[in-house]
A and B are shown apart, each in its own frame.
Chain A
Amino acid sequence: MSSNNNLIQLEDLKKVYTIGETQVHALRGVSYSIQEGDLMAIMGPSGSGKSTLMNIIGCLDRPTEGKYILDGQEVSTLDKNRLARIRNKKIGFVFQTFNLLARTTALENTELPLLYSDTPVKEAREMAFQVLAEVGLKGRELHKTNQLSGGEQQRVAIARSLVNNPSLLLADEPTGNLDSKTGKEIMDIFKKLNQEKNITIILVTHDPDVASAARKRIYLRDGQIIKEERD
């Protein structure tokens, strides 16, 4: 844990993609700090670099330049396998399209991260049952993904992101594929997790309603933060 209680510290992050012969500057120097327990939103139109930023924060990608310190550890220089370990231990993802394994039960989907952390089978099962209950899916553990509604599928995805007790939960348009009522329920889960369990949550969205749930909002355009709002 760093001294100023920052969970995430971004220092002048730059990301350049080379597509053919042209260079695309997705991030042009982003510096920002996120404290433990924050509930914040990254907003911006498509092409603003918010997906790139999310991928880097989520340790799916590495910056071309700059520093990324997560939980006191410099992660911008780690190799693919180390990044995978960090994703496994510290980060949970919730995607717009749920990204659950098809024809697989809610329980098995939830257990998936534990499969890669060498958790004993029995323990993994108990943990998965527990988080599924937390997101309100008690009794539906053995349903397969295609037997679940959109909202229920997103709850499974949240359960999966929580099962490893991550320090950070990254949600990419978590309500984008849901109706407004279900979307609100999902947002309530996020708020509850943030308040009751002090989990740091980053929402990536272009939906102002979703962003309003966050206490901090940053706006991205052309790979730079152009505005920050705090409640």
Chain B
Amino acid sequence: MNTSRIIRVALRALGRNKMRSFLTALGIIIGVGAVIATVSIGEGAKREVEKRFEEMGTNLLFVRPGSQSFGGRHYGGGSAQTLTADDGQAILEKCDAVQYVSPSVSGRAQVVYGNKNWNTSFYGVGDKYPEIRNWEVEEGIFFDENMVKSGQKVCVLGSEVNQNLFEGADPIGQIIRLKKIPFRVIGTLKSIGESGGWMNRDDMMLIPYTTAMRRLLGTTRISSIDVSAVSGSKTEEAMRQIEDVLRIRHKIAPGAEDDFNVRNMADIAESAAESREALKILLGGIASVSLLVGGIGIMNIMLVSVTERIREIGIRMSVGAREKDILFQFLSEAIVLSILGGFLGVGVGIVGSTLISKLADWQTLVSLWSIIIAFCFSGIVGIFFGFYPARKASKLDPIDALRYE
């Protein structure tokens, strides 16, 4: 018998018991649907991470002070005050995989312009900061090397701060006050909307780090060094070089713990996707259990079906069906059942992932390969769980089968 005929015979047999066929396939439908939805959440999260990663620059690195401990008492990461602006300069000079360096400090303050005020974060950064972070200046200019060196009181505003203080009026050249110190606005940043995580790019302002350290914070230590590697592929190399330079500068004995740590964007962005990862594992577990139970359901119904149709098997054998004809007939019924289930499951999965993205506001992405894999997997379930009943049917003795009441 050729394949199309086998499938037609199987479809006809399943069609005689539509309700039962549907219920049998339900396990597979749910299983495949869960697989598709799961993978779509995972893919969506991955895509989001990649997008954020690209936005921020794949070559972006952060150097932060390490944890500090006094007498066995550990403070959190960044608690130590071990980094200086000179460390940044050394990194720039000695690491050939490093392109730009910007020391960074930050704080929160009330900004005042005329009768308006706004509470926001200020970041003291170097002149290469926009290049490192891949940010664009919308209006005006960013502060240059000289402004940073001389510690000028200039600032570049995030779009939300700009909006709140100037309400659409031209901010360039205006003077605003930060902790009573006047700053001249020289530029604004292009809004990109909330990038999530720890920092709202629009609700902030940038000032030279020298100014921030001397005038606002009164410190000689910086809270981080932002670094960009010469290219994405050089990131790892840059990390190693930075570590070497800082260990020498900080006089850390071989084998002793670093008093700083270097992290790249991938580490940070991926941690943001971890909660979704947990859900993905949970859903994946449900999906595989459901597929397994679905498969057992198929086997169960196929066994019942074989018993019910012993007479039919006898008739088919008496007119010349061979063992393999009967085997293929029942096997193809199981496979057709599970593949139809898989087909409906793909639909359920797509609807499910759309619902998840609407309700939980997560990006989901139904990828073609997840559909193909789910489909193949449902076929494999059909073969695996359909084989035993089909084999049982094919091994029947035609005489006994014909006589069976």
CB proximity to B under 8 Å, residues A68-108: 80-81, 84-85, 87-89, 93, 95, 99-103
CB pair A84 B320 closer than 8 Å: yes
With contact pairs A100-B315, A101-B312, A121-B5 given, residues A116 and B320 touching in the complex (Cβ less than 8 Å): yes
State whether the Cβ of B360 lies closer than 8 Å to any Cβ in chain A: no
CB pair A115 B1 closer than 8 Å: yes
State whether the Cβ of B341 lies closer than 8 Å to any Cβ in chain A: no
CB pair B320 A113 closer than 8 Å: yes
Number of CB contacts from chain A to chain B under 8 A: 63
Q: Mark A47-83, 1 if CB is under 8 A from B, else 0.
A: 0000000010010110000000000000000001100
CB proximity to A under 8 Å, residues B40-79: none
How distant is the Cα of A81 from the Cα of B312 in the complex, in angstroms? 18
CB pair B318 A93 closer than 8 Å: yes
How distant is the Cα of A227 from the Cα of B319 in the complex, in angstroms? 31
CB pair A88 B399 closer than 8 Å: no
CB pair A84 B317 closer than 8 Å: yes
State whether the Cβ of B180 lies closer than 8 Å to any Cβ in chain A: no
CB pair B312 A89 closer than 8 Å: no
State whether the Cβ of B284 lies closer than 8 Å to any Cβ in chain A: no
CB pair B319 A113 closer than 8 Å: yes
State whether the Cβ of B221 lies closer than 8 Å to any Cβ in chain A: no
A85 neighbours in B (Cβ, 8 Å): 320, 322
State whether the Cβ of A118 lies closer than 8 Å to any Cβ in chain B: yes
With contact pairs A61-B399, A87-B320, A117-B320 given, residues A112 and B315 touching in the complex (Cβ less than 8 Å): yes
CB pair B315 A84 closer than 8 Å: no
Q: Mark B119-136, 1 if CB is under 8 A from A, else 0.
A: 000000000000000000
Contact of A88 among B2, B320, B398, B402 (CB under 8 A): B320
With contact pairs A115-B5, A121-B5 given, residues A81 and B322 touching in the complex (Cβ less than 8 Å): yes
Contact of A116 among B16, B312, B322, B398 (CB under 8 A): B322
State whether the Cβ of A160 lies closer than 8 Å to any Cβ in chain B: yes
**In this complex, what residue of B is CB-closest to A116?**
B320
CB pair B318 A118 closer than 8 Å: no
State whether the Cβ of B139 lies closer than 8 Å to any Cβ in chain A: no
A60 neighbours in B (Cβ, 8 Å): 317-318, 398-399, 402
How distant is the Cα of A58 from the Cα of B398 in the complex, in angstroms? 11
CB proximity to A under 8 Å, residues B273-330: 311-312, 314-325
B315 neighbours in A (Cβ, 8 Å): 99-101, 112
How distant is the Cα of A58 from the Cα of B2 in the complex, in angstroms? 27
How distant is the Cα of A113 from the Cα of B322 in the complex, in angstroms? 11
State whether the Cβ of B9 lies closer than 8 Å to any Cβ in chain A: yes
With contact pairs A99-B311, A99-B315, A101-B315 given, residues A84 and B321 touching in the complex (Cβ less than 8 Å): yes
CB proximity to A under 8 Å, residues B81-120: none
Interface residue count on the B side (C-beta < 8 Å): 22
CB pair A115 B9 closer than 8 Å: yes
CB pair B319 A87 closer than 8 Å: yes
B323 neighbours in A (Cβ, 8 Å): 80-81, 84
CB pair A116 B5 closer than 8 Å: no
A102 neighbours in B (Cβ, 8 Å): 312
Q: Mark B4-17, 1 if CB is under 8 A from A, else 0.
A: 01000100000010
How distant is the Cα of A115 from the Cα of B319 in the complex, in angstroms? 9
How distant is the Cα of A207 from the Cα of B389 in the complex, in angstroms? 40
B8 → chain A closest CB, angstroms:
9
CB pair B325 A116 closer than 8 Å: yes
CB pair A99 B1 closer than 8 Å: no
**In this complex, what residue of A is CB-closest to B395?**
A80
CB pair B311 A118 closer than 8 Å: no
How distant is the Cα of A88 from the Cα of B322 in the complex, in angstroms? 9
A21 → chain B closest CB, angstroms:
20
CB pair B399 A112 closer than 8 Å: no
How distant is the Cα of A79 from the Cα of B315 in the complex, in angstroms? 19
CB pair B402 A95 closer than 8 Å: yes
**In this complex, what residue of A is CB-closest to B405?**
A97
A113 neighbours in B (Cβ, 8 Å): 319-320
A141 → chain B closest CB, angstroms:
17
A58 neighbours in B (Cβ, 8 Å): 318
**In this complex, what residue of A is CB-closest to B321?**
A116
Contact of A118 among B1, B314, B317 (CB under 8 A): B1
Contact of A55 among B312, B319, B325, B399 (CB under 8 A): B399
With contact pairs A99-B402, A118-B1 given, residues A112 and B319 touching in the complex (Cβ less than 8 Å): yes
B5 → chain A closest CB, angstroms:
7
How distant is the Cα of A84 from the Cα of B314 in the complex, in angstroms? 12
B5 neighbours in A (Cβ, 8 Å): 115, 121
CB proximity to B under 8 Å, residues A147-180: 160, 164
Closest 6 CB pairs of A and B: A88-B320, A113-B319, A116-B320, A84-B322, A81-B322, A87-B320
